[in-house]
Amino acid sequence: MLVLSRQRDESIMIGDSIVVTIVDIRGDKVRLGINAPTEIPVHRQEVYEAIQRENLRASRLEPGDTQDIGKFSGRSNNGQAHPPEGPRR
Amino acid sequence: MRITTNRFGRIDVDPADILHFPSGLPGLEGCRDWALLADSDNDALGWLQSTTRGDVALAVVSPRRFVPDYQVRIPRSELTPLALADMRQAQVVVVVGKTDTGLTLNLKAPIVINLEARTGRQVVATGELSMQYELTPQRPPLKKSA
- Quote ipTM for the complex: 0.88
Nearest to A88 by CA among B55, B1, B31, B36: B36
Is A29 a member of any domain? Answer: yes
3-class SS string, B107-139: CCCCEEEECCCCEEEECCCCCCCCCCEECCCCC
| Segments of chain A assigned E as strands | 11-14, 18-26, 29-35
Mean of all residue pLDDT scores within chain B = 91
Per-residue pLDDT at B6 = 95
- The 10s digit of each residue's pLDDT in B14-52 is 999 999 999 899 999 999 999 999 988 888 899 999 999
Q: What residues of A are in contact with residue B90 (Cβ under 8 Å)? A: none
Question: How crowded is residue A18: how many other Cβ atoms within 10 Å of its Cβ?
Answer: 14
Read off the pLDDT band of B142 (50, 70, 90). low
Cβ distance of B38 and A48 shorter than 8 Å: no
Per-residue pLDDT at A32 = 97
Is A52 a member of any domain? Answer: yes
- The 10s digit of each residue's pLDDT in A22-78 is 999 999 999 999 999 987 888 899 999 999 999 999 999 999 999 888 888 875 544
- B6, B21, B51, B61: which to substitute to probe chain A, counting the most A Cβ within 10 Å? B61
| Domain of residue A23, residue span | 1-57
- The 10s digit of each residue's pLDDT in B42-76 is 888 999 999 999 999 999 999 999 998 898 999 88
Residue A49, C-beta contacts closer than 8 angstroms, at least 6 positions apart: none
Instruction: Give how many domains chain A has, as a whole number.
Output: 1
What is B2-131's CATH number, 3.40.50.1390, 2.40.50.140, 2.30.290.10, 3.40.50.1820?
A: 2.30.290.10
Is A21 a member of any domain? Answer: yes
B20-45 CB burial, b ≥16 within 10 A, e <16: ebeebbbbbeebbbbbbbbbeebebb
Q: Amino acid identity of B68? A: P
CA dist., res. A55 & res. B97, Å (int):
8
Annotated domain spans of chain B: 2-131
Interface of A with B in 20-79 (CB under 8 A): 38-39, 41-43, 47-48, 50-63, 65-67, 69-77
Of chain B, the percentage scoring pLDDT greater than 90 comes to 71
